[in-house]
């Protein structure tokens, strides 16, 4: 499946990354000389995406200035300065600025390195994996042993058929949500107009057996605290070498 539209969730306050985020939005914090959101945007552009919606709230003017200068994608801003919409509300609002075609959704502060490009990038693999006849959403997931900055909490269990369920202690194959998914915007047609968490739709899909996951190739990185910046940069240097 060829996917040319996407949304990047970038409106969070980045409170755990303070004091760094007192003066800069979290997606623009640099890791190894590159803004975190740029890793996500580059991954989307490399996968063939042409148009992306990015929501903004915290230090929105800085975000808009950066996005206007990003050269590889047509960027549409979803402005949440008046009201922060949480992950689900922000996604529903932003997707209204696109059409009805299947989209990638990514978090601005989660990314990975080490795609095995000769086997297709992780996003290309995820697009091929997504089957709307069987799936509400397909999530890219990380093996907990191939992460940096992770808090140790497992999100889901991934079974042999690719179904995701909420992780329970003792599950055979725990995985971490890597911050990228594929879905059709029609899934959110019944979404409320105010703020809500996207986990509501994860749980609905689980209840119907329609939440699926694919394990990423490479190393997943999250930067939640100032100390995690150095850890992420060490991981990048190690893998690049």
pTM recorded for the entire structure: 0.95
CA 78 to chain centre: 16
pLDDT at res. 191? 95
Q: What is the C-alpha separation between 164 and 27, in angstroms, rounded?
A: 28
pLDDT at res. 240? 73
pLDDT at res. 227? 87
238 sits in which H/E element: helix 226-240
Q: What is the C-alpha separation between 191 and 211, in angstroms, rounded?
A: 18
Q: What is the C-alpha separation between 143 and 154, in angstroms, rounded?
A: 9
Q: What is the C-alpha separation between 7 and 54, in angstroms, rounded?
A: 6
Instruction: Tell me which residue of 63, 211, 69, 65 sits closest to 137, measured CA to CA.
Output: 211
- For residue 159, give the DSSP letter: -
Range of the domain at 190: 5-240
Total structural domains within the chain: 1
* Region of residue 33 (phi > 0: left; psi between -120 and 50: alpha; otherwise: beta): left
Q: What is the C-alpha separation between 162 and 129, in angstroms, rounded?
A: 10
pLDDT at res. 114? 83
**Which residue's structure tokens are 């991954």?**
43
6 sits in which H/E element: strand 5-9
Structure tokens at 233: 């940069």
Q: What is the C-alpha separation between 87 and 93, in angstroms, rounded?
A: 10
Instruction: Tell me which residue of 92, 106, 44 sits closest to 197, measured CA to CA.
Output: 92
Which residues is 76 bridged to in the sheet? 53
What is the three-state SS of 101-156?
A: CCEEEEECCEEEECCCHHHCCHHHHHHHHCCCCCCCEEEEEECHHHEECCCCCCCE
Residues with pLDDT less than 50, the chain: none
Strand 137-142 with 211-215, pairing: parallel
**Which residue's structure tokens are 């991981």?**
235
Q: 178 — phi, psi (to 5°)?
A: -90, 5
Sign of the C-alpha dihedral computed for residues 192, 196, 200 and 205 taken in this order: positive
CATH of the domain at 217: 3.90.550.10
């Amino acid at each position: 499946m060829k996917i040319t539209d996407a949304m990047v969730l970038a409106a969070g306050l980045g409170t755990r990354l303070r004091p760094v985020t007192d003066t800069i939005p979290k997606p623009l914090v640099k890791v190894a000389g590159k803004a975190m959101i740029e890793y996500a945007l580059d991954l989307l552009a490399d996968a063939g995406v042409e148009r992306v919606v990015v929501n903004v709230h915290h230090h929105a003017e800085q975000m808009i200035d950066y996005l206007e200068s990003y050269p590889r994608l047509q960027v549409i801003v979803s402005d949440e300065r008046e009201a922060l919409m949480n992950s689900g509300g922000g996604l529903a609002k932003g997707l209204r600025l696109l059409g009805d075609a299947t989209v990638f959704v990514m978090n601005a502060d989660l990314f990975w390195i080490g795609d095995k490009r000769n086997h297709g990038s992780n996003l290309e693999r995820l697009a091929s994996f997504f089957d709307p006849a069987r799936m509400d959403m397909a999530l890219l997931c990380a093996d907990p042993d191939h992460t940096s900055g992770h808090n140790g909490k497992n999100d889901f269990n991934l079974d042999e058929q690719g179904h995701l369920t909420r992780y329970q202690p003792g599950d055979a194959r725990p995985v971490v949500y890597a911050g990228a998914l594929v879905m059709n915007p029609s899934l959110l047609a019944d979404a409320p107009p105010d703020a809500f968490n996207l986990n509501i739709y994860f749980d609905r899909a689980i209840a119907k057996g329609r939440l699926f996951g694919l394990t990423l190739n490479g190393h997943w990185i999250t930067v939640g605290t100032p100390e995690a910046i150095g850890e992420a940069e060490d991981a990048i240097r190690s893998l690049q070498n």
